[in-house]
Chains A and B, each alone.
Chain A
Amino acid sequence: MQLVLEKRAERSSTIALVSPLIAIGLTLVTMSILFAMLGKNPISALAVYFIHPLVDSYSLQEIAVKATPLVMIAIGLSLCYLANAWNIGAEGQFLIGAVAGSWLAVKTNGTEAGPWVLPAMLLLGAIGGALYALIPAICKVRFGASEILTSLMLVYVADLLLDYLVRGPWRDPKGFNFPTTAEFDPVATVPVLIEGGRLHLGGVIALIVVLAGAVLLGKTIKGFEIRVVGAAPRAARFGGFNSNQLILLTFAISGALAGMAGIIEVAGPVGHLQPGISPGYGFTAIIVAFLGRLNPVGILIAGLFLALTFIGGEQAQIAMKIPLDVTKVFQGILLFFVLACDSLILYRFKLIFASPKVSRGAH
């Protein structure tokens, strides 16, 4: 028996709509079995994961907060991936953005600086992230070094730089030597939208980014170039598109977005710079980008959905004492099913019940 893929003549739009539903269905079945094996009632467990977070405004806000950095980063990454530029170092760009923006917050801490501080911080964060992303991009364009690997390596460097700064020069002098900067001043903090909640201005920025991404890809020539270079590099070369320039551009954009997400996270939900500001946002965003099929609206949905599993997972720990590891397994399985079902859009699966040798003979 052999599983064979057959390329469809064109994308199947029906399956494009149905495949996430199939994937979720398969996940639900698998997880029900797993929950039953753990001795938990599958139906109530799934309800805690998927339904409870959606029925109160607090959890909805939290989903939005969690999704904000994921969506911002993933939009940038999707541009890279569409242009065949493989930036997987968004985590590092996120951290450098946070560091660059925090520099201003640390320098102005306790001074009379006005409301210009926050916008300047966001700008610095974006610039920092973009410059950091340009390192692997230039190494790729100039020397042909694989950007997948250089961008990944630079994640660790960024992490260690942040670590050095908060344990050394930027440490809060009144903080008993603990590795954190002082709490940012109000002018250096991202404002919350709803009093008493945690939903902050970053959520709005993320939505604007989604819109901008959609416009860029759908309505502009640059967007067209990005898609052509990615989908048909040879045609693009004949068309006179400069793929090197696009690599630099898309890396810079995605670095800027990751960097801005970083400083928003630090100046928003965290409130100061410290190690561990990112629970792997840069990597999770890669998954979000693919779950959203590299499409801005899809990414928004995927980001919210993944955030839902995080919030749901926590509520499952609280309400049903389901261990965190189960949530991880659950996320992994879910991702596999979604990615696998998306493959149906481009391909048709066939099972061939014959020995491989015979089938090759018939070829």
Chain B
Amino acid sequence: MRKILVAATAAILATGAGLLSASAADKLKIGFIYLGPVGDLGWTYQHDLARLAMVKEFGDKVETTFLENVSEGPDSERSIEQLARAGNKLIFTTSFGYMEPTLKVAKKYPNVHFEHATGYKRDKNMSTYSGRFYEGRYIQGVIAAKMSKSGVLGYIASFPIPEVVSGINATMLGAQTINPNIKIKIIWANTWFDPGKEADAAKALIDQGADIIMQHTDSPAAMQVAAERGKLAFGQDSEMIKFGPKTQLTSIMNNWGPYYIERVKAELDGTWKSEDFWGGLKSKLVVMAPYTNMPDDVKKLAEETEAAITEGKLQPFKCPVIGQDGKEVECKGGTHLDDGQVLGMNFYVKGIDEKIPGK
């Protein structure tokens, strides 16, 4: 009994020491806060792949920790602070809802650097980063209009936040370059993640005449429904070809790896500073999965569109952008809408018949 007690005390002290002495072995400790489980096959999954890629790059120089399934409510501030207290010097908080909590913790820990995904508030030790996913949406719009026989696209949306609205608009603008009369049907699933509901939404869209399914929700359920019905679909967040080998046209992949590597490198070099990074095709944060299940001419067109956007020759929100009400949207960026207009996008472009929910 005494032996066990001694062993127990020793073990407790040992782990205690491990917890408290932050810079054990001089590794840079990096923390991640995830919204979903790492196995969600979507948003969180991609962030975790990026974390692993970053670990592979730096090997022994870094040590990473993540907290998964952190709800965006009252628990998130504590979770972030726990990571800061455990000696993490760079902390990535990977969902919009962590914005205020990250800001609060950042004020308390001025020597820790924070990276918040998809938000708009920054501080001297808190950066933001996000992806220009609308660039990929534009390409999808072009492909969809080429491939659609019925002229009706089906779009499963999650929540009417600007990122989703700008994705819908970019899709439509891309599609209109091919077919000015293209129609889009939008169903709001009001969830990022409920495979059953996503499948139901895909069925409803197909039943209403859509023959191309695109989604802004996380799971491969819609892809599988499209596959079963013999329609075509786009993946979301990650490579989903496995779930629709004869169905997936391409997928917008969130490729956070290069950004994480860059930021960790800056941290290791001591050159980290607060920034607002918004990466697209050019910076390879947005990567298109191989173009499949389409004729060569469509594939060529898609590749050309991708190249044009990457080189900056083509702006998805090139002026004039005509709103749903028929009026031209103010052109703040000179030749195209500026980042602020895209980040706060709260209108549909002409050609979309429906209304944005809550508006």
Inter-subunit contact A279/B75 (CB<8 Å): yes
Q: Which residues of B contact A168 (CB under 8 A)?
A: 358
Q: Which residues of B contact A317 (CB under 8 A)?
A: 65-68
Residue-wise interface mask of A (305-318) relative to B, using a CB-CB cutoff of 8 A (1 in contact, 0 not): 00000110011011
Inter-subunit contact B77/A198 (CB<8 Å): yes
Inter-subunit contact B86/A318 (CB<8 Å): yes
A43, A66, A278: the one within 8 Å of B8 (CB): A43
The residue among B67, B74, B345, B357 with the most chain A CB atoms within 10 A of its own CB is B74
A274, A314, A318: the one within 8 Å of B97 (CB): A274
Closest to A163 in B: B190
Take A47-B11, A171-B358 as given contacts and tell me if A198 and B78 are in contact as well, using a CB distance cutoff of 8 Å.
Answer: yes
Inter-subunit contact B79/A276 (CB<8 Å): no
Does A91 make an interface contact (CB < 8 A)?
no
* B residues 64-101 in Cβ contact with A at 8 Å: 65-69, 71-75, 77-79, 81-83, 85-86, 96-97, 100
* B residues 318-343 in Cβ contact with A at 8 Å: 343
Q: Which residues of B contact A65 (CB under 8 A)?
A: 78
Residue-wise interface mask of B (47-71) relative to A, using a CB-CB cutoff of 8 A (1 in contact, 0 not): 0000000000000000001111101
Of the listed stretches A131-139, A265-273, A338-346, chain B binds A265-273
Minimum CB–CB distance for B118 against chain A, Å: 9
Does A44 make an interface contact (CB < 8 A)?
yes
Q: Which residues of A contact B343 (CB under 8 A)?
A: 176
Inter-subunit contact B71/A276 (CB<8 Å): yes
CA distance A358 to B85 in the complex (A): 63
Does A336 make an interface contact (CB < 8 A)?
no
* A residues 107-158 in Cβ contact with B at 8 Å: none
A177, A269, A319: the one within 8 Å of B346 (CB): A177
Does B160 make an interface contact (CB < 8 A)?
yes
Q: Which residues of A contact B11 (CB under 8 A)?
A: 41, 43-44, 47
Does A178 make an interface contact (CB < 8 A)?
yes
Inter-subunit contact A319/B74 (CB<8 Å): no
Does B16 make an interface contact (CB < 8 A)?
yes
Q: Which residues of A contact B301 (CB under 8 A)?
A: none
Q: Which residues of A contact B75 (CB under 8 A)?
A: 66, 279, 310
Minimum CB–CB distance for B83 against chain A, Å: 7
Does B344 make an interface contact (CB < 8 A)?
yes
Q: Which residues of B contact A51 (CB under 8 A)?
A: 12
Closest to A266 in B: B74
Minimum CB–CB distance for A67 against chain B, Å: 12
How many chain B residues have a CB neighbour from A under 8 Å? 46
The residue among B15, B16, B67, B86 with the most chain A CB atoms within 10 A of its own CB is B15
* A residues 18-60 in Cβ contact with B at 8 Å: 41, 43-44, 47-48, 51-52, 55, 58
Residue-wise interface mask of A (47-86) relative to B, using a CB-CB cutoff of 8 A (1 in contact, 0 not): 1100110010010001001100000000000000000000
* A residues 286-309 in Cβ contact with B at 8 Å: none
Does B120 make an interface contact (CB < 8 A)?
yes
Closest to B190 in A: A163
CA distance A178 to B74 in the complex (A): 17
CA distance A41 to B86 in the complex (A): 20
Q: Which residues of A contact B82 (CB under 8 A)?
A: 314-315, 318
Does B165 make an interface contact (CB < 8 A)?
yes
Does B7 make an interface contact (CB < 8 A)?
yes
Q: Which residues of A contact B159 (CB under 8 A)?
A: 167, 179
Q: Which residues of B contact A311 (CB under 8 A)?
A: 78
Inter-subunit contact B69/A324 (CB<8 Å): yes
Q: Which residues of A contact B66 (CB under 8 A)?
A: 317
* B residues 131-183 in Cβ contact with A at 8 Å: 159-162, 165
Does A240 make an interface contact (CB < 8 A)?
no
CA distance A311 to B82 in the complex (A): 9
Residue pairs across A and B with Cβ atoms less than 8 A apart, 6 shown, are A47-B16, A55-B16, A271-B100, A276-B73, A277-B73, A310-B75
User: Interface residues, chain A, CB within 8 Å of chain B?
Assistant: 41, 43-44, 47-48, 51-52, 55, 58, 62, 65-66, 163, 167-168, 171, 176-180, 183, 196, 198, 265, 269-272, 274-279, 310-311, 314-315, 317-321, 323-324
What 9 pairs between A and B have smallest CB-CB spacing?
Answer: A47-B12, A168-B358, A44-B15, A269-B74, A43-B11, A276-B73, A44-B11, A167-B358, A176-B344
